[in-house]
Amino acid sequence: MANLMNIITQQLGAQAINSIARKIGGDSKMTQLAVSAALPLLISSLSRNAAKGGTSGLANALDRDHDGSIMDDLVGFIGGNRQNQKSGDGAGILRHLLGDRRSNVEQLLSQDTGLDRNATSNLLETLAPVVLGQLGREKRQNNLDENGLAELLRQHQEEEERRMQPEQRSFISNLLDKDGDGKIDSDIAQKGLGMLGNLFGGR
């Protein structure tokens, strides 16, 4: 199976990035940087949740609300043309993916990309349905059951972790495991997106 991150990155071409930039009020270069950092965090969080036993609920959510159809017209979806309101419920998806850690992720993305917190929040809410949309498409096209879905995410996570340096793996784990109390450890805050930019910016 193809790498989930690579597929989504290919789908988010220049036109889609420009549409996201207009939606969140950022310039295209800044938006591309933020997307390059935010997408892997969302997919890693999804993979971690599934590894902790969340595959059944994820499979049901994909079957019910995320069949991948939004990927047929990403620019239209980004612009607000939603045929299924649940498939575009970015805030609801983020509650499941990030929970209380959302504020920590937004803080780091904002401080190191130059996007304000509202723009960063809007960006994450835009990208979350894209991640589930592509995963739903993979599930449907490859006829994946719960085990197949778990294996797809496991393979993705293993591939990403092989590519990372130990310090990068530790950084992601610390960020995604924070309790969301609104305070980020000083070492995480100091590294910030400098770490994420080095990790994901070259895609």
- CB atoms under 10 Å from CB of 170, counted, come to 14
Q: What is the CA radius of gyration of the chain?
A: 16
Cα 96 from Cα 78, distance rounded (Å): 21
Distance, first Cα to last Cα, the chain: 19
Q: What digits encode the pLDDT tens for the residues 60-104?
A: 889 888 888 889 889 988 987 655 555 668 899 999 888 888 988
Total structural domains within the chain: 1
Q: What digits encode the pLDDT tens for the residues 19-46?
A: 999 999 989 988 998 898 888 889 888 8
Cα 51 from Cα 40, distance rounded (Å): 16
Cα 19 from Cα 54, distance rounded (Å): 32
Domain that holds residue 110: 4-200
Residue of 167, 48, 177, 165 lying closest to 101 (CA atoms): 177
What's this model's pTM, rounded to 2 decimal places?
Answer: 0.84
